[in-house]
Amino acid sequence: MSLPAATQRAQVRRTAQFHPTVWGDYFIKRVSDNQAALFVGESDVFSKFKDGKGNFKEDLINDVHGLLSLYEASYLSVQGEDILDEALEFTKTHLIMATQFGSSLADQVSHALRWPIRRGLPRKESRDYFSIYQQDEAHIKPLLKLAKLDYNIVQMLHQKDMNMITKFGLHNQTTFRSRQSDRMLFLALGTFSEPQYVFAREVLSKAVAMLSVMDDIYDVHGTIEELELFTKVLRGLARLIDDIRSHEFEQERGHVASAVECYMKQHGVSQQEAYDELYKIVINLWKDLNEELLKETADIPKPILMCILNIVRVMDVVYKDEDSYTNSKTSLKDILATFLVHPVPV
């Protein structure tokens, strides 16, 4: 059986015959190689802070500003940089003492001990730094005013984001955790903090809302029969879209043990010991993240890498002391107020 003549015709696509660039990948290779050599290297520069015996110099103790700078730098460490691990312990110990003896940098030190810059959200850190910076006699008044105006303008944009999230109607569903539209938006604000990412914040907020609804259905609302049916439907969708094919829903096994309980049972340790060991894993993962972010790659744009870093930062803020996503009356309430409600006095 012959095919219709129309289907046998070859497709002719015109081309403008544009000339290729004369530079090729010259700049990609040249810039990337040089930057890799610049950023990913040994931490020998920090050796100058040590004496002949390998201990940190005693005169550093009286230099609170220097201690603070070394402390912040230690959070950029990667695997194998033991000197930065030592620097973190050394600086943290003496910075705590500096706050007790009333250093002129006491407010800044106290804030840094709780919220190191590397793990803080950029917009939050900017807001917190205003009060610290304006106490400095050498501060530049026009610069400070401009920074405050910028914060207030972006805050008004985020209020529009909140208006859009509220219109989802999920805040009226009082039996679902997804009513927490403010915290859903906070996850999006922290991840995509730049003003131009309006659509990204909207999409992420909706995704978090749907995930929260699904989680609540499994944890609280669904019967065994309903959840079995729901799981089958989701399995079918997974096969069709070929996206989460290998994923197994934790709720199929009932209330699954947490990582803490699993570690306690596997290693026969106490709850606190499990906390300590899991926290060590978190620290090592931060080091892995730091190392990957320092590498130059032409495949992944820098803004995407920063979004990945910001997601981790958001998780650090939300779960720093407690589950601030589930519980509304936590320190996150004050952070949300600075993000969405209270402008900076200019």
Convert the pLDDT of each residue in 315-336 to its tens digit.
888 877 766 666 666 677 888 8
Does the pTM exceed 0.95?
no
**How far is it, in rounded angstroms, from Cα 53 to Cα 1?**
89
Q: What is the largest CA-CA distance in the chain?
A: 94
Q: Which two tokens stand for residue 186?
A: 């906070």
Write down the pLDDT at residue 220.
58
Please compute the mean of the pLDDT values over residues 112-124 and round it to a whole number.
Answer: 91
Overall fold of domain 26-114: Glycosyltransferase (1.50.10)
Per-domain residue ranges of the chain? 26-114, 141-340
Class of domain 141-340: mainly alpha
**How far is it, in rounded angstroms, from Cα 160 to Cα 239?**
38
Write down the pLDDT at residue 323.
66
Write down the pLDDT at residue 325.
63
Write down the pLDDT at residue 240.
31
**How far is it, in rounded angstroms, from Cα 59 to Cα 230?**
65
User: Which of these ranges, 118-122, 180-184, 286-290, has the smallest mean pLDDT?
Assistant: 180-184
Convert the pLDDT of each residue in 25-71 to its tens digit.
544 444 444 444 444 455 567 777 787 777 888 888 888 888 999 99
**How far is it, in rounded angstroms, from Cα 16 to Cα 270?**
70
Write down the pLDDT at residue 3.
52
> In the predicted model, what is the mean pLDDT of the chain?
74
* Nearest partner of 157 among 122, 199, 215, judged by Cα: 199
Convert the pLDDT of each residue in 234-293 to its tens digit.
443 333 322 222 223 333 444 456 677 788 888 898 888 888 888 888 888 888 888 888
Convert the pLDDT of each residue in 149-166 to its tens digit.
999 999 998 888 888 777
Q: Coil, strand, or helix at residue 56? A: strand
Convert the pLDDT of each residue in 183-200 to its tens digit.
777 888 888 888 888 888
